[in-house]
Amino acid sequence: MPYTYLTSEDVDKWTQSHDGGRRYGAMTTNISECFNGVLKGARGLPIAAMVEFTWSKLVAYFHDRHKKITEDLSRGKVWSDYAMEIYNKNAQKTAGHTVRNFNHETGVYQVLTPYNDHRGGGGNHSHEVHVFDRRCGCGKWQNLKIPCSHAIKVLQGLHLDATSYIDPCYSLNNAIHTYSKHFVVPKSESLWRDVRGPRWVPDP
């Protein structure tokens, strides 16, 4: 039965192998935690109050985010704070990195990290950076879609703006679209039409 149901849907909607990279190769996410965070406080309410609570929270959520992104854009910001925080942390780690040019034509470089690294792992690692494919042997660039410290080191060495290699999903120009739809103010309950069909009453 589930199989019959799935085969009637396009494979790009439910298989990772046909999703065109939209899930960035991640099999699972914990995104439901995000909804839990949004809906916290709605638990235990009667159904109508729960719907009203969720609705007003959603409206406020869209309003606040649209306002914040609009302000950020007007101040010339390009990327989300989330992405820039990760990027800046990575950029700070490039100091001790050394780049070996491997193949300029295929965009392959080797980045070496030194001994006595303060971070975990102790340093002394070698990473293969593929600029054209936007991936690094450490796995972080392709997974987060934000250049890792090794990629930043290579891109800076090539005199490229490494921030332009951050994935467009983090751009504020795209984020604003998410919050640009408008909600309509709900009608007052006194203007609601009478219900046709069975009426639901609370269990006394």
Task: Give residues in contact with Zn ion (CB under 5 A).
Answer: 127, 136, 138, 148, 150
Which residues touch 94 (CB under 8 Å, ≥6 apart)? Answer: 149, 152, 153, 156
In whole angstroms, how close is the CB of 169 to Zn ion at the nearest point? 19
CB of 60 to Zn ion, least distance (A): 39
How far out from the chain centre does Cα 36 lie?
17
Q: How far is the CB of 137 from Zn ion (least distance, A)?
A: 6
Complex with Zn ion: residue 80 or 149, whichever CB lies closer: 149
Residue type present at position 179: Y
For Zn ion, the closer CB: 83 or 136:
136
Q: Which CB, 130 or 150, lies closer to Zn ion?
A: 150
Distance CA(29)–CA(163), nearest Å, equals 25
Residue nearer to Zn ion on the CB measure, 54 or 143:
143
CB of 94 to Zn ion, least distance (A): 11
CB of 110 to Zn ion, least distance (A): 11
Do 97 and 147 touch, CB atoms closer than 8 A?
no
DSSP state of 101: E
Complete DSSP assignment for 150-184: HHHHHHHHTT--GGGGS-GGGBHHHHHHHT-PPPP
CA distance 24 to 139: 12
Q: Which residue lies nearer to Zn ion by CB, 127 or 130?
A: 127
